Amino acid sequence: MSGGHFDYDQYRLGYISDSIKEVILNNNIQPEYWYGEWNGQVYNDKTIEEFKKAIAFLDIALCYAQRVDWLLSGDDGEDNFITRLEDELNKLKQADEYGYVGKILESKI
């Protein structure tokens, strides 16, 4: 199905996650006025940790949304939906630079 079931809207979660990663990378940079915009923020460590958790939740949500999209669009069947979801979640857990994906996935829900 062209555009997928969600019209590619699931990728917005990835854009938000990437944006938060940029905020973390630019944290503690002295704010400066550059090309008409203020750049740099100073957030405390507790706030940065919450940003890292938010990234993990967004990345997990993107993974689920993508797999459901493929299932609802007919690109995947129920027989491989769970297998592919588990594979992608494992890859996400291994690539997690902040260590929250595994903690979230291992929680009892």
Q: Residue 55: inside a domain, yes or no?
A: yes
Alpha-carbon distance of 109 to 105, in angstroms, equals 9
Looking at the chain, the whole-number percentage of residues with pLDDT higher than 90 is 73
pLDDT, position 39: 65
pLDDT, position 109: 65
Three-state secondary structure call for residue 12: helix
pLDDT, position 84: 96
Domain that includes residue 75, residue range: 11-106
Q: What is the number of structural domains in the chain?
A: 1
What are the average pLDDT values for consecutive 10-residue runs of the chain, which has 109 residues?
78 97 85 65 92 98 97 93 96 95 88
Beta bridge partners of 32: 39
pLDDT, position 77: 93
Q: Residue 65: inside a domain, yes or no?
A: yes
Q: 104 with 60: CB under 8 angstroms?
A: yes
Q: What is the pLDDT of residues 36-53, one digit of tens each?
A: 666 667 899 999 999 999
Q: Residue 3: inside a domain, yes or no?
A: no
